[in-house]
Structure 1
Amino acid sequence: MKRVFIAGATGYLGQFICKEYQTRGWHVTALVRKSNKDVHLAADRIVEAEATWPETLIGTMKDVDLVVSALGITRQADGVGYWEVDYQANVNLLEEALRSNVTRFAFVHVLNADRMESVPLVAAKAAFVRKLRSADIQTSVIAPTGYFSDMGDFLKMAMAGRVWLFGSGQQRINPIHGADLAAALFNAVQDGAALAEIGGPDTFTQNDLAKLCFETLGTPPRITHLPDVLRRGALHLLPRLAPRRIAGPAQFFLTAGAMNMTAPPSGTRKLVDHFKSLVDRSN
């Protein structure tokens, strides 16, 4: 039986990756910071360790064939930053993989990263990817367009009564469900892909997303387009005025939202069904 070590296992995508590998017959080791009885992981072994502390990782990857890291900060809640987690913690994982003679390392990156290195979150991930590719190990870099979970921000605005968009709202994205992305990741790594850009089955403009939110709610669409200069101004001011836990994610979403985030389609799950489940949960 092949063995996989999954970092970021308790995150949105990590939980789906654990389930995908276990379903495919792999022995799954899940790395967690602290066990949580409320989070059920499809894992054969749970390792409690702090990836930012390399000494806690020693010996955790014995007999592992593959490391998959979906480790990174999405919404900052504690004192650590992107360079401590998205870069250094992943470097610590890579170095332990090399010491343990792991043959392959897969990393979940960001689509269009080369156009967003002014964003701290992306800069840290991109720096790790450069280090990963220079290491003596087979690598796969997975670059998704965006998750269904991220699209919930549009639905929240619609539920509040209005969706606010910067510019024309014509930028396109084909977001993907975590389960579909996990399956596509598995296949890409099995195929030995050095880079896999992955999107979902349906492409939307931002205007389309806003309209879909209101259709799901059964309310008339109320969409306001703001001048793009306001987005650019916000990007300039955020690092100076907002705390890092707010500025970091906002910088990423404001930057990514100004470009097309589309990739070859994969999966079958529909965004409208995800929106409906969120609405049902809120009622």
Structure 2
Amino acid sequence: MKHTNILLAGATGYLGSYVLNALIEKQNQVVAIVRNPDKFLNTNENYLEIKQAEVTKPETLRDICKGIDTVISTVGITRQKEGLTYMDVDYQANMNLLEEAKKASVKHFVYVSAINGNKYRNLKIFEAKEKFVDALKVSGLNYTIIRPNGFFSDMKDFLQMAKSGRVYLFGSGHQKFNPIHGKDLATFIVDNLEETNKELTIGGPDELSLNEISELALNAFNKPIKIIHLPDWMRKLTIWSLRTFTSVKTYGPIEFFLTLMAEDNIAPTYGEQRLKDFYFKEVQTI
């Protein structure tokens, strides 16, 4: 079924740009909120309207949801910058959108959080996301919360290590993941717009241990397999030190990475893009 009018927030981000393409491919009418329209290259005028606004500034969003049926928000930050915190963006900016959606009687609000966000509320990166999830659930709107596993783009850290010839892991390296590509995730979101008042956890097609991910990264550079396993207490000490001695801007993303890497995070498998191919492509650009 075609969705009539969809407002997309975060359209220029990694995931948002894939969601935009997937929506337009399915011939949905999309209003994309963009902070800087000049940077925006998508020119599919039949299905796309661009509105200049900043989700962190509620006054720029006034009446932006008029005539909109569904709001999709991929708004969030991995690394704090420009003086904005996780609370400013992941929580407050999405609250600004939700308030406008309520005023305009929007039927459905789709929000992208992350796998096991509820379980890891103590992490700075999740605290703000889950606070918004709570608000969305009691907003009276139909909601869908998408909980993806790690993105392929988050797995570039392994490539950075592999480039130098060795990969460092904490613990045994048997912890398993199935990261997902932004393109597959976007397709999943658009294909599941009928699913309301649900939380949908989703990952990529391959379940891989950290050892296997490290091997893929080293293979992509044609390097011999050198994986150094560090004791787990070092991981815990690293998190503690970062929390104690650095700002949340520094420790937020690392804390998230090191915590989720400590145990299996397997989501239902989906999609066609494989990490191995992604790594080989990335190596061409490094």
Does structure 1 retain, via aligned residues, the 8 Å contact 2:70–2:108? Answer: yes
Q: 2:13 is matched with which residue?
A: 11
Candidates 160, 173, 176, aligned match of 2:177: 173
Among residues 252, 262, 270, which one is paired with 1:266 in the alignment?
Answer: 270
How far does the alpha carbon of each residue in 1:143-194 deviate from its partner, in whole angstroms, 9 at most, with x for none? 0011111111111110122111111111111011111101111122223361
Counterpart check, 1:163 vs 2:182: no
Query: What code does the residue aligned with 2:35 have?
Result: R
Question: Which amino acid letter does the alignment assign opposite residue 132 of structure 2?
Answer: F
Q: How many residues are matched?
A: 282
Q: Tell me if the contact between 1:15 and 1:41 (Cα under 8 Å) persists in the aligned partners.
A: no
**RMSD of the TM alignment (CA)?**
1.5
**Cα separation, 2, equivalents of 1:192 and 1:209:** 34
CA-CA distance at 1:113 after TM superposition? 1.3
Partner of 2:196: 192
Shift of 1:244: 2.7
CA shift for structure 1 position 121 = 1.1
My pick for the range that moved more, 171-180 or 29-38, is 29-38
- Could you tell me whether the CA contact under 8 Å between 2:165 and 2:218 is conserved in 1? no
1:213 corresponds, among 204, 217, 233, to 217
Output one character per residue of 1:198-227: Cα deviation in whole Å (capped at 9) or x when no partner: 011101000000011111211101111111
The answer to whether 1:100 aligns with 2:104 is: yes
Aligned to 1:21: 23
Equivalent AA in structure 1 for residue 15 of structure 2: L
SS in 2 for 1:115: coil
* More deviation, 233-242/22-31: 233-242
Cross-structure match for 1:151: 155
8 A contact 2:12–2:40 mirrored in 1: no
Over 3 Å counting, the alpha-carbon distance change for 1:176 and 1:41 in structure 2 is farther
**Equivalences for 1:101-140 in 2 at 5 Å?**
101-140=105-144
State the identity %: 39
Q: Structure 2: which 5+ runs fail to align? A: none
**CA–CA separation in structure 2 for the residues paired with 1:191 and 1:141:** 10
Distance 1:61 1:260 in 2: 39
- The 8 Å contact of residues 188 and 196 in structure 1, kept in 2 or not, is answered as no
Partner of 2:282: 278
SS in 2 for 1:113: coil
Tell me which moved more, 14-23 or 69-78.
69-78
In 1, distance between residues paired with 2:212 and 2:56? 40
Q: 2:50 aligns with which of 40, 46, 49?
A: 46
Counterpart pick for 1:246 among 234, 247, 250: 250
Which has the higher mean CA deviation after the structures are superposed, 182-191 or 75-84? 182-191
Q: TM-score, normalised by structure 1?
A: 0.95
Q: Secondary structure at the match of 1:150?
A: helix
**Aligned residue type for 2:232:** D
Compute the displacement of 1:36 (Å): 4.2
After superposition, the Cα gap between the structure-2 partners of 1:204 and 1:111, relative to the gap in structure 1 and judged at 3 Å, is: same
Q: CA separation of 1:266/1:41 partners in 2, compared to 1, >3 Å: closer, same or farther?
A: farther
**Separation in 1, partners of 2:128, 2:39:** 31
1:60 Cα deviation (Å)? 1.1
What is the TM-score when the length of structure 2 is the normalising length?
0.94
Given that 1:18 and 1:41 are in contact with CA atoms closer than 8 Å, whether structure 2 keeps it comes out as no
Per-residue deviation, residues 82-107 of structure 1 (Å, max 9, x unmatched): 11111111111111001111100000
Worse-superposed segment, 51-60 or 234-243: 234-243
Tell me, yes or no, if structure 1 residue 34 matches structure 2 residue 26. Answer: no
1:62 aligns with 2:66: yes
Aligned to 2:89: 85
Q: CA deviation at 1:245?
A: 2.1
Q: Give, in angstroms, the shift of residue 37 of structure 1.
A: 2.7
Structure 1: distance between partners of 2:176 and 2:193: 27
Instruction: Note the C-alpha offset of 1:240.
Output: 2.4
Q: Which moves more between the two structures, 239-248 or 59-68?
A: 239-248
* Deviation for aligned residue 1:241: 1.6
Q: 1:152–1:114: structure 2 CA closer, same or farther, 3 Å change rule?
A: same
